[in-house]
Structure 1
Amino acid sequence: MSITMYQITVPVLVRALMNLSGVLKKGADHAKERNIAEEVLLNTRITPDMFPLIRQVQIATDMAKGAGYRLAGEEAPKMEDNETTFEQLQARIASVIGMLNGFKPEQIDGSENRDIVLKMRSGEMHFQGQPYLLDFVLPNVYFHCTTAYAILRGVGVVLGKSDFIGKHD
């Protein structure tokens, strides 16, 4: 039995975002318990030349959302990137999970060879569906989820590998 594009897109991305949501919840709880202003944690960076926590979440969700829509051959809706609280980031994650869960397998299956063109500041990036997902989207989503985890872990939020990986059914 072979695996389908839908199976390696929607469930995988939804799981990553659900786990990111759990990590952020622990971050919000940590801030509240220690009387730390949310904006302090949300604007924390690993290093000065990396994006802060808020942006890491925005990029992870944008990547996941974009993958679903592009592989389905549709234009992805734009998000404002104006979140300033943990609650707003949670709403953003929930919104993207809802979008991803709205796709049916037949919308994404068969997209292995779909032409995908990303317009970047540095120019256009051209992909076919499967390499776009496996070589670009998934590494980016995991990078930004990992970075969000590392930021919160670095400020003392009690997190473990199981928070990142999630529970197995």
Structure 2
Amino acid sequence: MPIALHSISIQMYLSAFSTLQHLLAKAQSSPTSDTLPQARLAPDMIPLSKQITKASNIAKAATYQVLGPDSRHGPAPVWADEESTLEDLIARCDKTIALLKSITPEDLEGKEDENVETVLGNGKVVRSDGKGITLGMGVPNVMFHVGIAYAILRAEGVPIGKGDYLGGFVGALNVEVPEGGVKY
């Protein structure tokens, strides 16, 4: 039985943003919490704040591209991307989650094989189907930015581990997560 597009896109994105919320909440108690939004792994990489907004924008863009211009949702909303504090970033995750929760399995039903054309950041046009946009672009890009956000927080001394990262994903599978998170 094939896995529904909603499960491999919206559910994955929701898990990713649940993980980000958890990581950012733990970061709030860090002595360096005020400087964390501008922290980066390397000088040529974008800071934590932009990792979060990129993940949000990619989840929105990939989802709305697959939905198509004629969906009941209309065009993807455009947000200002001005988050500069951990509280702002948590609020961005909340807003992204609320938007993603408005997409139902029925909204994406049958979109797996529909033609989708998208323009990448470098201006290159990519043509695929709903499954290709989701699994080839959307999910891997969101997961990249979530992973980098985790790495930035770890590098800055926030006390998080693999269980903190995986907790949002394991929880989405209706697996009971023990008190204190998942240990690996």
Tell me the residue number matched to 1:8.
8
Q: Of residues 56, 59, 67 in structure 1, which corresponds to 2:54?
A: 59
Name the CA distance, whole Å, in 2 between partners of 1:129 and 1:28. Answer: 37
Residues 65 and 118, structure 2, Cα contact 8 Å, conserved in 1: no
Residue by residue, what CA displacement relative to the aligned partner does 1:135-158 show, whole Å, maximum 9, x if unpaired?
111111110000000000001111
Gaps of 5+ in 2: 70-74, 176-184
Change (3 A) 1:160 1:133: same
Name the CA distance, whole Å, in 1 between partners of 2:151 and 2:107. Answer: 34
Tell me the residue number matched to 1:135.
136
Residue by residue, what CA displacement relative to the aligned partner does 1:67-108 show, whole Å, maximum 9, x if unpaired?
222222242111111111111111111111111111111111
Tell me the residue number matched to 2:118.
118
Pairing of 1:64-143 with structure 2 (within 5 A): 64-74=59-69, 75-123=75-123, 124-143=125-144
Percent sequence identity over matched residues? 34
3-state DSSP class of the match of 1:127?
strand
Tell me the residue number matched to 1:146.
147
- Name the TM-score, length of structure 1 as normaliser: 0.91
Name the CA distance, whole Å, in 2 between partners of 1:117 and 1:80. Answer: 24
Change (3 A) 1:93 1:153: same
Runs of 4+ in 1 over 4 A off after TM superposition: none
Select between 105-114 and 148-157 the one with higher mean Cα deviation. 105-114
Aligned length: 164
Select between 2-11 and 43-52 the one with higher mean Cα deviation. 2-11
Q: Of residues 36, 41, 45 in structure 1, which corresponds to 2:36?
A: 41
Deviation at 1:121, TM superposition (A): 4.2
Tell me the residue number matched to 2:20.
20
Change (3 A) 1:8 1:120: closer
